[in-house]
């Protein structure tokens, strides 16, 4: 009898897991599959439009940059983390917006990274990586052809995408109303350009993939440059997946959407 109860519990948990996966997959289908092509180079991306999208109105644009594990060309893996934040029915009703999840090709990066020896080091270069070049062109294209509120363009990303978040705002410091890099990093000398920008940094203190020192150093540099709208949220004893904690923050979205260029 005891074994039967244990087996029944396992079956119920398995059914719950399957239903949860199917629900997430169904929610992800709300993101349309698209491709942006420029001079033979292709950036695959997913785009979520507001419910009852009205092109005569204007909506915030959110750019979400995934981590290294979601690279590829299937135009699906990039929705692994974070997508359900934006497909959540309550969030869609409260924060109608256009949301894009571009996908970085395998073995490429959002931001120039020179080494993983003893951690990451970053290359300071005027030329963005090819995937980032395409992301910047895609954003410009959406701002031109979709109902985008240009004063409310946001970027967030995790891990490799956290590095990409820093890289993108440093390259386009006048274009973004706010940025949320999660477990990322940047060459801190670049941050003078974004000292005016609201930036919320997240990291786990036990992260052994991307050291939290990268985020701490970025925060310290921004504060040293007089930044008044920067904050850092560190999760004690949390490893690399600090995005789970960040996404669970009750004001994760409301903080971002409250920011607007003047």
Reading the block at residue 163, the tokens are 């590095």
Q: What is the pLDDT along the chain (262 residues), one digit of tens a residue?
A: 556 666 666 666 555 444 444 445 557 899 999 999 999 999 999 999 999 999 999 999 999 999 999 999 999 999 999 999 999 999 999 999 999 999 999 999 999 987 655 567 888 889 999 999 999 999 999 999 999 999 999 999 999 999 999 999 999 999 999 999 999 999 999 999 999 999 999 999 999 999 999 999 999 999 999 999 999 999 999 999 999 999 999 999 999 999 999 8
Token pair of 113 as six digits: 């990274």
Query: Does residue 174 come out as left (phi exceeding 0), alpha (psi in the -120 to 50 range) or beta?
Result: alpha
Phi, psi of 108 (to 5 degrees): -115, 175
> What CATH code would you report for 32-257?
3.40.50.1820
- DSSP states of 209-237: SS-HHHHHHHHHHHHHTT-SSEEEEEETT
Instruction: Please give the model's pTM, rounded to 2 decimal places.
Output: 0.89
Please say whether the beta carbons of 141 and 36 come within 8 A.
yes
Cα separation, 68 vs 85, in Å, equals 20
Three-state DSSP at 23 gives: helix
Cβ-based burial of 208 (10 A; exposed 0-12, middle 13-18, buried ≥19): exposed
Taking the C-alpha atoms of residue 159 and residue 15, their distance in angstroms, rounded to an integer, is 31
Secondary structure letter of residue 241 according to DSSP: -
Separation between Cα atoms, residue 160 and residue 10, nearest integer Å: 36
Instruction: Look up residue 241 and give its two tokens.
Output: 């997946």
């Amino acid at each position: 009898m005891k074994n039967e109860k244990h087996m029944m519990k396992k079956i119920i948990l398995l059914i719950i897991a399957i239903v949860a996966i199917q629900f997430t997959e169904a929610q992800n289908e709300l993101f349309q599959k698209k491709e942006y092509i420029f001079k033979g180079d292709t950036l695959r991306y997913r785009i979520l439009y507001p419910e009852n999208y009205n092109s005569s109105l204007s909506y915030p644009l959110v750019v979400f940059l995934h981590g290294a594990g979601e690279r590829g060309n299937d135009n699906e893996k990039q929705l692994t983390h974070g997508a359900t934040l934006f497909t959540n029915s309550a969030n869609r009703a409260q924060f109608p917006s256009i949301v894009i999840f571009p996908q970085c090709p395998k073995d490429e990066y959002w931001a120039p990274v020179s080494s993983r020896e003893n951690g990451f080091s970053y290359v300071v270069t005027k030329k963005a990586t090819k995937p980032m070049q395409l992301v910047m062109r895609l954003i410009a294209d959406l701002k031109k052809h979709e109902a985008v509120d240009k004063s409310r363009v946001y970027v967030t990303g995790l891990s490799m995408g956290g590095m990409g978040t820093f890289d993108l705002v440093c390259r386009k410091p006048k274009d973004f109303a706010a940025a949320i890099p999660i477990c990322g990093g940047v060459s801190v000398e670049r941050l003078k350009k974004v000292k005016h920008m609201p930036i919320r940094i997240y990291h786990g203190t036990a992260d052994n993939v991307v050291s939290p020192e990268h985020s701490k150093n970025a925060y310290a540099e921004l504060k040293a440059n007089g930044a008044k709208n920067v904050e850092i949220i560190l999760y004690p004893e949390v490893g690399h997946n600090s995005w789970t904690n960040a996404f669970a923050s009750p004001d994760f979205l409301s903080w971002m959407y409250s920011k607007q260029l003047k």
